[in-house]
C-alpha cells in the first residue's frame, strides 16, 4: 500500500535546493553499506506477527520485547560498553525473535545471550564479563549451562553472522560526511545526542522494521531542522539523494521518530538511564545489609585529662575524628546506582532494597 506523500519536508524558513557541492569521497564504502543493510535485518513478517500479538503468558508481545531492550540498555550502561554493543544486541535479539516463536519465560535468557554475543563482537576480550557476573547483575533466572545452550541455539539459527550493518553505522557515516563538507561548528551536531536518540528508538519495536539508513537519516534531519542551518540542511539533502531514500519514506519514518523522541523526552517517560538498580534479596540478607549500613561503631575510650600527656591527647583526638567519620558515613545515594532491571519478586518472602 502506497503511503500518501506529504507536500514538503523542508523546514520553514529554509529554501529547498537539490544541488549541492560535489562530495570528495570514495563511492565504494557508501554503496557497500547501502547494499549490506538489508542482509542481516529482522524479518518484517516476523516483527509484524509480534506487533499484532495480544499479551498473554504464552506469546511474546511488543511490550515485553521493548522492556527487554530497556534491560539491554541498562546492562550496557552498567558495564560501560559502547553504543554499538547495545545496538548490535538489539539487532541480534530482533532477528532471533522474528525467526523463532519464543515464549515470554525464555526472553530473559535470550536477552542476556544476545548481550553477550554482541559484546564479544564489539568489546575487548578483557572487558567482557563472565556469565556468572551477567547472571548476577541481570538477575536472570537461569544457569550458566542454560545460557550456553541458548547461545548455541541463537548462533546456529543466525548462522553465526552477527556483524550487521545497523542504523548506528549509517549515523556515524552521515555525521562524518556532513561535518567534513560544511563550515559549521562541529559542536552543533552532537553525536552523543544522536546516539542517545537512536537508543530511544531501538526501545520501540516498530523501528526495527525501518531500513537502517532511513532511521539514521531521520535522526540527522530532525536535529538539523532544529538547528535551522541552511548549509547543514543542504548536506542532508545531498546525503538523502546518494542514499537513494525517497521523500515519502523519509517523511513517513521521520514523523514516527519525532513522536517517539517527544514521548521519550516527556517527564512521564521512565528512562533506563534514570532508573534505579533494584536488588531482590531475602529478608535475612536485607536485615544484615541494613545493620551493616546503620550500625554504630565503637568509639575509643576518652582518658582523663590529667592521666595523659599532650601527644597522647592529640592521638586520642585523631582516633575520635576517625570514629566520627565512620559514624557520619551514609549508604550510597540513588545517584550512584542509576540502572534498572524490571524484575518480579520471588514467591518466597523477600524485601526490596533500593541502593
Check residue 25 and give its pLDDT: 43
pLDDT of residue 296: 54
How much is the average pLDDT of 40-48?
93
Q: Are 231 and 183 in contact (CB under 8 A)?
A: yes
**pLDDT beyond 90 at 65:** yes
Q: Dig out the grid coordinates for 85 from the structure.
A: 554493543
Coil, strand or helix at 352: strand
More confident residue, 185 or 254: 254
Separation between Cα atoms, residue 37 and residue 332, nearest integer Å: 44
Return mean pLDDT, the chain: 78
Residues, the chain, total?
Answer: 355
Specify the higher pLDDT residue, 270 or 354: 270
Backbone angles phi, psi at 354, to 5 degrees: -95, 110
- pLDDT given for residue 204 in this prediction: 96
Yes or no: domain 44-164 corresponds to CATH 1.10.472.10: yes
The tens digit of pLDDT for each residue in 285-332 reads 666 666 555 555 566 777 776 554 545 444 444 444 444 333 333 344
Beta carbons of 249 and 257 less than 8 angstroms apart = no
Name the nearest CA neighbour of 192 among 30, 68, 82: 82
Q: Is the pLDDT of residue 107 over 90?
A: yes
pLDDT digits (tens, 9 = 90+) for 203-220: 999 999 999 999 999 999
Those residues whose C-beta lies under 8 Å from the C-beta of residue 53, and which sit 6 or more positions away, are 59, 60, 61, 62
**Residue 167 neighbours by CB distance under 10 Å:** 26
3-state secondary structure (DSSP) of residue 128: coil
For the purposes of burial, counting CB atoms within 10 Å of the CB of 135, is it exposed (0-12), middle (13-18) or buried (19 or more)?
buried
Q: Are the C-beta atoms of 187 and 205 separated by less than 8 Å? A: no
Q: Which residue has the cell 546506582?
A: 337
Q: How far apart are CA 332 and CA 103, in angstroms?
A: 37
What radius of gyration do the chain's Cα atoms show? 26
Query: Pairing mode, if any, of strands 278-282 and 350-354?
Result: antiparallel
Nearest to 33 by CA among 213, 203, 244, 202: 213
Q: Does 80 have pLDDT greater than 80?
A: yes
**Which of 54 and 336 is assigned the larger pLDDT?**
54
Domain residue limits, the chain: 27-37+165-265, 44-164, 277-341+349-354
pLDDT > 90 in the chain, percent = 52
pLDDT of residue 278: 60
Q: How far apart, in whole angstroms, are the C-alpha atoms of residue 78 and residue 74? A: 6
Query: What average pLDDT does this structure show over 173-197?
Result: 85
pLDDT of residue 27: 52
Amino acid at each position: 500500500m502506497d503511503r500518501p506523500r506529504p507536500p514538503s519536508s523542508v523546514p520553514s524558513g529554509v529554501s529547498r535546493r537539490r544541488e549541492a557541492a560535489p562530495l570528495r569521497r570514495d563511492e565504494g564504502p557508501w554503496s557497500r553499506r547501502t547494499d549490506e543493510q538489508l542482509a542481516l535485518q529482522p524479518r518484517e513478517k516476523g516483527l509484524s506477527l509480534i506487533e499484532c500479538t495480544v499479551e498473554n503468558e504464552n506469546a511474546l508481545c511488543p511490550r515485553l520485547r521493548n522492556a527487554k531492550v530497556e534491560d539491554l540498555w541498562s546492562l550496557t550502561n552498567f558495564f560501560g560498553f559502547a553504543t554499538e554493543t547495545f545496538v548490535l544486541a538489539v539487532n541480534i535479539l530482533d532477528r532471533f525473535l522474528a525467526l523463532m516463536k519464543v515464549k515470554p519465560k525464555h526472553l530473559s535468557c535470550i536477552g542476556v545471550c544476545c548481550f553477550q554475543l554482541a559484546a564479544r563482537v564489539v568489546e575487548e576480550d578483557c572487558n567482557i564479563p563472565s556469565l556468572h557476573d551477567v547472571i548476577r547483575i541481570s538477575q536472570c533466572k537461569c544457569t550458566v549451562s542454560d545460557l550456553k545452550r541458548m547461545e548455541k541455539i541463537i548462533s546456529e539459527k543466525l548462522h553465526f553472522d552477527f556483524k550487521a550493518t545497523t542504523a548506528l553505522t549509517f549515523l556515524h557515516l552521515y555525521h562524518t560526511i556532513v561535518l567534513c563538507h560544511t563550515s559549521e561548528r562541529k559542536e552543533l551536531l552532537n553525536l552523543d545526542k544522536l546516539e542517545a536518540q537512536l537508543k530511544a528508538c531501538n526501545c520501540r519495536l516498530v523501528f526495527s522494521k525501518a531500513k537502517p539508513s532511513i532511521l539514521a537519516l531521520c535522526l540527522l534531519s530532525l536535529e538539523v531542522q532544529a538547528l535551522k542551518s541552511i548549509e547543514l540542511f543542504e548536506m542532508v539533502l545531498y546525503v538523502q539523494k546518494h542514499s537513494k531514500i525517497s521523500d515519502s519514506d523519509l517523511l513517513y519514518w521521520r514523523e514516527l521518530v519525532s513522536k517517539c523522541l517527544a514521548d521519550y523526552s516527556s517527564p512521564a517517560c521512565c528512562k533506563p538511564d534514570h532508573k534505579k538498580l533494584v536488588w531482590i534479596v531475602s529478608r535475612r540478607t536485607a536485615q544484615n545489609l541494613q545493620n551493616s549500613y546503620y550500625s554504630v561503631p565503637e568509639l575509643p575510650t576518652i582518658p582523663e585529662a590529667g592521666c595523659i600527656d599532650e601527644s597522647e591527647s592529640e592521638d586520642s583526638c585523631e582516633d575520635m575524628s576517625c570514629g566520627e567519620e565512620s559514624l557520619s558515613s551514609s549508604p550510597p545515594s540513588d545517584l550512584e546506582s542509576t540502572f534498572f532491571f524490571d524484575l518480579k519478586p520471588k514467591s518466597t518472602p523477600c524485601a526490596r532494597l533500593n541502593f
